[in-house]
Amino acid sequence: MPTIKMLIYSLCPFLFLLSCGQVPEETTKATSNQIKNTAPIIISRAQYENQLYGFWLGQSIANWTGLVTEMDKIGDLGAIKTGAFYTRADWGQPDQPSIWGEGVPSDLSATIDFVFKDSSEVWGADDDTDLEYMYQQLLYTHKATVLTPKQIRDGWLLHIRPDEENFLWVSNQKAYDLMQAGMLPPDTGHPNNNEHYDMIDAQLTTEIFGLLAPTQPKIAHQIAELPIRTVARQEAESIAQFYVHMHALASVPSKKHMRERILWMAESASQVLPHDTYPAKMYQYTKGLYHSGIPWEQARDSIYYRYQVHQEDGYNITAKNLYCNGCFAAGINFAASLVSLLYGEGDFKTTIKIGTLAGWDSDNPTATWGGLLGFMIGKEGIETVFGRTFSNRFNIHRTRQNFPNNGIDTFENMARKGLTITDRMVVEIMNGTLDSVRNVWVLPPYVPMQ
């Protein structure tokens, strides 16, 4: 049952802002001050390659852990009733059926827990990892810094299965259908052609572009623009750019604690959200909940009532009535992802646990933050967190087709390809240099976007 306090937060936002929504002054200063650097930025290529390995490993762990609870808890609207949301007490407890599980819990794990693959196993691709893999392969194969509309369309038609079970969600599927009919991006994501332009699809598939433009979010936005607009517009587009921006900032040198780095990165990335749109208001509302000190479960419940039930801040998605009154629209996953990001405070395990338990399409936020944090701490950092090693193999053919080696790749090879692409970005469009003697990139100073 919702508590009186939670209902006050949910139903009386003005009272909330007066009572506990103001961010403490010292916290505001800590997160709003831009990291200033007037000297060139030196980044070790060897370290970056290790971090790219961490991105793919962290994303895989988080993706498959989040899949255990995917669509188990979506609220209590319409004909679909899934009961109370999960709380931290449910970690390690039996998994419950999802809305499409036909009464059967996930077959990934009997309990809600981390999902691992050891050295004798292979990580499988999923829709939160496979299109990013495809975009990296296209950039690598074409020796490109920015993909063209034709390269994207031809890549989709080559690597996406034409059958019904092709692991595409609604906007991606519509864009694929339009490509088959001869249409090129970005028209495939235009609202006149794709009625699902406001769904979650773009935020599943484009974060990696931020890592290919280290410390320079402006460049990251440029190279991610067409892939994002292939399937998204308006708020869904700006949410995807938020994630791209954060991944580009993950390389900015800082001696701050992970919590402070994450808060700064999120605050900086929030500047790409148009202030009068629901994503910007979701960000400010969720940040206020976090700084108020209430538990993450209460923040999640408040978000549920504010946005899914009461449709506040312009988040009006009930007309689509898509499975759970719009829970696949870009916004609710964005708000849920912010809960796990902020309350996770840069800790890998805590962030993924919260994302897994938060509800809705839980593998989407977990994969996003697992990849980001995995990049920030690198391969060895992830192994230290869990006190173990993991499989380094990845099967892209679980969901896609027509890749080398029958679809079996390794994180080492994936990281090397990412490094090669980033070499090209640094030299050709980032105004940096590659110092082969020291095996480093020399990049211009970090300059915040205006």
Evaluate whether residue 375 is within a structural domain: yes
pLDDT for residue 29 is more than 50: no
> Residue 408: phi, psi to the nearest 5?
-90, 120
For the residues 341-354, what does the mean pLDDT come to? Answer: 98
pLDDT bucket at 309, cuts 50 / 70 / 90:
confident
Question: What secondary structure does DSSP assign to 131-196, as a single string?
Answer: HHHHHHHHHHHTT-SS--HHHHHHHHHHHS-SSS-S---HHHHHHHHHHHTT--TTGGGSTTT-TT
Tell me, rounded to whole angstroms, the distance of Cα 368 from its chain centroid.
Answer: 3
Q: Which two tokens stand for residue 273?
A: 């959200």
Residues with Cβ within 8 Å of 276's Cβ and at least 6 positions away in sequence, in order, are none
Q: How many CB atoms lie within 10 A of CB 224?
A: 31
Weakest-pLDDT range from 106-120, 323-337, 398-412, 428-442: 323-337
pLDDT for residue 352 is more than 90: yes
Evaluate whether residue 131 is within a structural domain: yes
pLDDT for residue 15 is more than 90: no
User: What would you measure as the largest C-alpha separation in the chain, in angstroms?
Assistant: 64
Distance CA 369, CA 339 (A): 11
Evaluate whether residue 446 is within a structural domain: no
- Domain count within the chain: 1
pTM: 0.91
Evaluate whether residue 31 is within a structural domain: no
Quick one: DSSP state of residue 35? P
Q: What CATH number is attached to the domain comprising 142?
A: 1.10.4080.10
Higher model confidence: residue 10 or residue 37? 37
pLDDT for residue 7 is more than 60: no
- Structural domain including 161 reads 41-439
For the residues 81-102, what does the mean pLDDT come to? Answer: 86
Higher model confidence: residue 412 or residue 164? 412
| Start-end of H helices in 258-322 | 258-269, 278-292, 296-303
Q: Which two tokens stand for residue 187?
A: 């028209």
Rg of the chain over all Cα atoms, to the nearest angstrom: 21
Q: Give the model's pLDDT for residue 20.
A: 38
Evaluate whether residue 29 is within a structural domain: no
Evaluate whether residue 19 is within a structural domain: no
pLDDT bucket at 100, cuts 50 / 70 / 90:
confident
Evaluate whether residue 162 is within a structural domain: yes
94 strand-pairing partners: 111
184-193 pLDDT, tens digit each: 999 999 999 9
Q: Give the model's pLDDT for residue 427.
A: 97
What is the percentage of the chain residues whose pLDDT exceeds 90? 80
Q: Give the model's pLDDT for residue 324.
A: 58
pLDDT bucket at 18, cuts 50 / 70 / 90:
very low
Average pLDDT of the chain to the nearest whole number: 89
Q: Give the model's pLDDT for residue 23.
A: 42
Angle CA 56–57–59, to nearest 5 = 65
| Start-end of H helices in 293-362 | 296-303, 330-344, 348-358
136-186 pLDDT, tens digit each: 999 999 999 999 999 999 999 999 999 878 999 999 999 999 999 999 999
Q: Which two tokens stand for residue 408?
A: 């079996």
Evaluate whether residue 330 is within a structural domain: yes
